[in-house]
Amino acid sequence: MVEVETLRHGHGRRDILDITAWRVDAGERCLVAGPSGSGKSTLLHLLAGLATPRSGNVRVAGQDLADLSPAARDRFRGRSIGLLLQSFHLLDTLSVFDNVRLARHLAGLPEDRARCRKVLDDLGVGELGDVRPSTLSHGQAQRVALARAVVNRPAVILADEPTSSLDDESCGRVAALIEAEADRQGATLVVATHDSRLHGRFEQRLVLDAPGAGSER
Ligand SMILES: Nc1ncnc2c1ncn2[C@@H]1O[C@H](COP(=O)(O)OP(=O)(O)OP(=O)(O)O)[C@@H](O)[C@H]1O
Ligand SMILES: [Mg+2]
């Protein structure tokens, strides 16, 4: 579950987000749409606890993020939130397998090599465990990043523009993969995108206003 109330946020003097109430129930899927600069990525950062809102409440999987210390928020993110950002941030000093393993370690979870192997297999990149991320194609790297995002069985998956640079066929495939992973865990899924090809796939939608539509402080 993801829930925000009277959320306001901005950068510098600019107001970017002003959301009175928005909620996605456990296991449901929501698309966050809106033109470039409307605050889609900013909202995902707030949901992930990577930024703190100017005002308002953000609850993820029942947890109010403001009630957590920075260290506890990092731990919570590692265990409960699967993040798939536009740049994958895979560590090239580690193998693909160890990138996925590291996600468990950073979240303070016990080693589980079988689980790491399974998510890579499920996503069709099980053969690539020993290679360095820099040798992967874009699509392979994205699958590895998705494996890392879901290895801890997060309650919530947040994906930022997962399909914007893809052709139609890859777009459908990637969207289906993310949805399948969300279904497998019963996770709540929030996808931020201006890719109109994804709009029909989501029953719920939050549409953010164009930049400049809000007030300047
Ligand atoms: N770290 C930052 N410092 C200052 N301004 C920022 C910062 N990050 C984003 N912004 C501004 O906040 C606004 C919203 O940005 P954001 O990246 O959330 O939009 P978006 O909807 O994700 O856009 P896109 O579709 O291009 O990805 C933009 O005007 C952007 O310039
Ligand atoms: Mg964005």
Judge contact between 185 and 115, C-beta under 8 A.
no
The phi-psi region of residue 160 (left if phi > 0; otherwise alpha if psi is between -120 and 50; otherwise beta) is: beta
Place of tokens 């069709």: 124
Q: Quick one: pLDDT at residue 213?
A: 63
Q: Is the pLDDT at 206 greater than 70, yes or no?
A: yes
Q: Determine if ligand 1 sits within 6 Å of the CB of residue 39.
A: yes
Q: Determine if ligand 1 sits within 6 Å of the CB of residue 37.
A: yes
Q: How far apart are CA 217 and CA 214, in angstroms?
A: 10
Number of helices (H) and strands (E) in the chain: give both, helices first.
6, 9
pLDDT band (50, 70, 90) for residue 216:
very low
Residues 6+ apart with CB under 8 A from 77: 48, 49, 50, 83
Q: Determine if ligand 1 sits within 6 Å of the CB of residue 38.
A: yes
Q: Cα of 41 to ligand 2 centre, how many Å? A: 4
- Tell me the domain boundaries of the chain: 2-207
- CATH fourth-level superfamily of 2-207: P-loop containing nucleotide triphosphate hydrolases (3.40.50.300)
pLDDT in tens, 84-126: 999 999 999 999 999 999 999 999 999 999 999 999 999 999 9
